[in-house]
């Protein structure tokens, strides 16, 4: 089957670059293989930074390809370098591999066989698409000036897998076989989403996903009998007042055009109905799309919690666990990726996000080191209501596997264009 077509058109009917048409066709040849891999991963998900079964699946899938493979030691991370026909820089393509600690209720034939563990965020598709792209690009080495690094990453779901791989020297790549330096000059990732129709692509320049931090406030009063609150210092109403005030603090002090989200998700206090406890604990999450607003929310949280507690004769210990930074796309790389998405998916099927997504991503660590972009790939059937589709992280989320053809093609096209 020929992989070139000089008169190809995209789904919108406009002329398509022959190379992109060829890559899209080439990607389609490996959809069945990617689907089989995705289903194996989905059926046997793993959590965190140590994914031995998943790593073995990746290694088996790329074993016959001309790749220089590195196994990371602190995690189950795998990197594989493909050297092109001519010297040049390295482009990094990332796919994350880990699942979530939650049940699955999709009813799929290949549903999770592991109790309390599910690929509910599409990482199984990311891994399968990246492996498919490794196969496509390995067969097109003569079109590559430089190298492609395939980064199979564990621990994205809150375990800082990308940071661990960076700390192990991910970007300290050796020279090419002829001795030519080949630094990593760009990074690209795809994230499957149920918020777009199958095969659609979306991203934006600048902040594309939020930072994510954990807040904890321990309010300490004085315990006593529930019938005599005047002889105690009750931390429970103080904690409730802090929660309400934090909501007001965000809405009244944070610029709505540089937004933040502060959500309290746990309030724990007491052991029984007739005892005033000594302490009450508040826990939640802080999201922001700029480091300036992130810092402002942190300062406001401490001021509000400590001030309200002091006003009622209590103490407040505020702890903030720093999570992922803001995921910030390089403006030029984001525009390039969206333009390429229009060529691969069709002009009308690639849209610029109007606002950042308030979820967080540890691809942010990569984008703090090299210019690049993350794009979203739709996986919801076209006849489904997007507003009612189960979202990412739902026990019933469903991703249509046909979208992986677009993902494989987009991964491959980014590398080929960047290394033309």
| Contact criterion met (CB below 8 Å) for 361 and 87 | no
Relative to beta strand 350-352, strand 201-203 is: parallel
Residues 6 or more apart whose CB falls under 8 angstroms from that of 228 comprise none
Active site residues per annotation: 324, 401
Residues β-bridged to residue 271: none
- Rounded distance, CA 363 to CA 371, Å? 12
| Contact criterion met (CB below 8 Å) for 61 and 30 | no
- Taking only Cα atoms into account, the Rg of the chain, rounded to an integer number of angstroms, comes to 24
Residue with tokens 């666990």: 321
| Contact criterion met (CB below 8 Å) for 190 and 410 | yes
Q: Using the CB atoms, write b or e for 73-103: b if 16+ within 10 Å.
A: eebbbbbbbbbbeebbbbbbbbbbbbbbebe
Q: What are phi and psi of 21, to 5 degrees?
A: -60, -40
Q: How many CB atoms lie within 10 A of CB 383?
A: 7
Q: How many CB atoms lie within 10 A of CB 133?
A: 29
- Rounded distance, CA 240 to CA 242, Å? 5
- Rounded distance, CA 43 to CA 394, Å? 16
Residues β-bridged to residue 375: 190
């Amino acid at each position: 089957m020929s992989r070139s077509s000089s008169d190809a058109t995209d789904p919108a009917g406009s002329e398509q670059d022959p190379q992109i048409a060829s890559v899209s066709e080439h990607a389609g040849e490996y959809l069945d293989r990617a689907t089989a891999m995705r289903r194996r991963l989905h059926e046997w998900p793993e959590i965190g930074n140590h994914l031995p079964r998943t790593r073995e699946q990746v290694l088996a899938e790329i074993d016959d390809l001309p790749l220089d493979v590195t196994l990371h030691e602190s995690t189950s991370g795998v990197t594989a370098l493909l050297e092109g026909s001519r010297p040049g820089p390295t482009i990094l393509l990332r796919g994350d591999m880990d699942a979530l600690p939650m049940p699955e209720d999709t009813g799929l034939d290949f549903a999770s066989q592991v109790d309390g563990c599910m690929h509910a965020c599409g990482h199984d598709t990311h891994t399968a698409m990246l492996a498919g792209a490794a196969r496509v690009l390995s067969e097109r080495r003569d079109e590559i000036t430089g190298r492609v690094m395939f980064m199979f990453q564990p621990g994205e779901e809150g375990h800082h897998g990308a940071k661990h791989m960076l700390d192990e020297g991910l970007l300290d790549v050796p020279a090419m076989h002829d001795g030519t330096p080949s630094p990593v000059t760009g990074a690209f990732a795809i994230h499957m989403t149920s918020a777009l129709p199958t095969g659609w692509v979306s991203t934006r320049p600048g902040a594309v996903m939020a930072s994510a931090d954990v807040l904890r406030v321990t309010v300490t009063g004085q315990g006593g009998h529930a019938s005599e609150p005047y002889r105690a210092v009750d931390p429970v109403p103080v904690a409730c007042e802090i929660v309400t005030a934090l909501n007001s603090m965000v809405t009244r002090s944070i610029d709505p055009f540089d937004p933040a989200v502060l959500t309290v998700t746990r309030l724990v206090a007491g052991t029984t109905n007739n005892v005033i406890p000594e302490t009450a604990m508040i826990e939640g999450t802080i999201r922001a799309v700029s480091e300036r607003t992130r810092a402002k929310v942190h300062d406001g949280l401490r001021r509000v919690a400590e001030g309200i507690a002091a006003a009622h004769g209590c103490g407040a210990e505020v702890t903030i666990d720093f999570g992922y930074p803001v995921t910030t796309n390089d403006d030029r790389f984001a525009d390039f990726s969206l333009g390429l998405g229009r060529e691969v998916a069709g002009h009308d099927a690639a849209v610029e996000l109007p606002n950042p997504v308030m979820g967080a991503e540890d691809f942010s660590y990569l984008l703090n080191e090299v210019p690049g972009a993350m794009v979203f790939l739709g996986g919801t059937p076209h006849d489904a209501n997007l507003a009612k589709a189960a979202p990412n992280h739902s026990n019933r989320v469903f991703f249509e596997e046909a979208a992986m053809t677009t993902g494989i093609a987009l991964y491959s096209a980014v590398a080929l264009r960047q290394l033309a």
